[in-house]
Amino acid sequence: MKLTAASSKSGWRALPRNIWAVSLTSFFMDVSSEMVLNVLPLFLTSVLGVRTGVIGLIEGIAEATASLLKLFSGWLSDRLRARKWLAVGGYALSALSRPLFYIANSWSVVAGARWADRVGKGVRTAPRDALVADSVGEHQRGLAFGFHRAADTGGAVVGLVVALGVVWLAQQNAVDLNRTTFQILVLISIVPALLAVLSLAIGAQDVSVTRAQERPRIAFRGLGRRFALFMLIVGIFDLGNSSDAFLVLRARERGLSVVGVLGMLTTFNLVYTLVSTPAGSLSDRIGRRRVIIGGWLVYALIYLGFALAKAGWHIWALYTVYGIYYGLAYGTTRAMVADIVPEALRGTAYGTYNAVLGILDFPASLVAGILWQGIGPWAGFGPSAPFLFGGVMALMAAILMLTVLKTDSRAAGA
């Protein structure tokens, strides 16, 4: 029987148990991840002496490594008509990768740990998103995804506050991160990572899915022309959406200390948390497309600001507003996937969505690193270049969403 929010409660209080379980899992995993991954670029540059081109390579391959697994795990969840245990396995693998960061003494070990973490994400993401979509009705889908993103980002706020406290006590206003501080953060991060796995394993249950007329295939066929157009437009946006590691490096390049960077990330995630749920609910009322376009326009303006910023506090202020983009667009695009594909192929659709974007993350991050600092014999164009490129790509994607994908399909406001 399909789980729905059929109660006298309204809004997020009416969301079913699965949404709460998945959201709690994402909360704990983000507590763990944000403590480590946001300072990882500082560890790579300050302690290991890695160049930005190599960081772009690590980040790009990490996401690309997960991409095929996202596609396969989504297809497999449709084939098995079961989402939960694939997601649990993915979260478990990410949790097991944490100790590798502790022993890292070269960029290759960091890369291995980062790739193991992303493989876990590749296994869990599509089944988890499909489980969220399966667990609510169409007109509550934006709210469910928005609430999930809010919980996820709330975990980021907690993780960053913990990281901020550790860094403050260990080295206060130091510009560079030292190895001991990084290792302390890694050790603490293991606890919430394990809690994330337990929350999903104990709290969630699979939802029966309509049997497909044929076995799901890993292909666009069956997902429809509208989904293909949607993926083309989102892909254009993602080519300019390099890893946020470059924003952290931009903040440090403009003079922010490690404590300042963590404070900046905390305020960003707080805004993201506050915006996500109402933005998701808004997309249920006025349609996903309008909310996504609004988010992408905010992104374009913010990235222009990152390119022109002259001081560390400029980056902090811009990064705080950057949370509005995430709140508007990140969960809403995932809700829109479920709107435009058949129910029995949602796992395959989410796998395809995440796989395509994951593959594009490699050239996006690599190009950003090359534009900034160059690679090999090629010189870069400076710190502003990747942000100007990202802003232009976001503007192009917003125009295409407005002119090519002219209406929402089954979302409200069509």
Which of 144, 143, 123 is CA-nearest to residue 18? 144
Residue 8 has pLDDT above 50, yes or no: no
d(CA 149, CA 283): 14
Query: Which of these ranges, 52-66, 79-93, 139-153, 251-265, has the smallest mean pLDDT?
Result: 52-66
Residue 202 has pLDDT above 90, yes or no: yes
For 226-257, the pLDDT digits (tens) are 899 999 999 999 999 887 778 888 888 888 88
**What is the average pLDDT score of the chain?**
83
Higher-confidence residue: 143 or 217? Answer: 143
Residue 12 structure tokens: 């997020």
φ, ψ for residue 136 (rounded to 5)? -135, 165
Average pLDDT over residues 278-304: 92
d(CA 405, CA 126): 24
- Helix or strand holding residue 200 (H, E): helix 179-203
d(CA 266, CA 25): 20
Structure pTM?
0.73
Would you list the DSSP string of 30-55?
HHHHHHHHTTHHHHHHHTS---HHHH
Q: How much is the pLDDT for 333? A: 92
Q: How much is the pLDDT for 192? A: 96
Query: Residue 275 — pLDDT band, cuts 50, 70, 90?
Result: very high
Q: How much is the pLDDT for 6? A: 40
**Is 28 within 8 Å of 193 (Cβ atoms)?**
yes
Q: How much is the pLDDT for 219? A: 53
Average pLDDT over residues 322-328: 92
Residue 412 has pLDDT above 80, yes or no: no
Query: Residue 188 — pLDDT band, cuts 50, 70, 90?
Result: very high
| Structural domains in the chain plus CATH codes | 18-206+217-403 (1.20.1250.20)
Query: Residue 26 — pLDDT band, cuts 50, 70, 90?
Result: very high
Which residue type sits at 51? R
Q: How much is the pLDDT for 2? A: 41
Residue 214 has pLDDT above 70, yes or no: no
Residue 413 has pLDDT above 80, yes or no: no
Q: Distance from CA of residue 49 to its chain's centroid?
A: 27
Query: Residue 32 — pLDDT band, cuts 50, 70, 90?
Result: very high
The dihedral of CA 135, 151, 177, 60: what is its sign? positive
Q: How much is the pLDDT for 4? A: 40
For 348-406, the pLDDT digits (tens) are 888 888 888 877 877 887 888 788 765 554 555 778 888 899 999 999 999 999 998 86
**Is 38 within 8 Å of 358 (Cβ atoms)?**
no
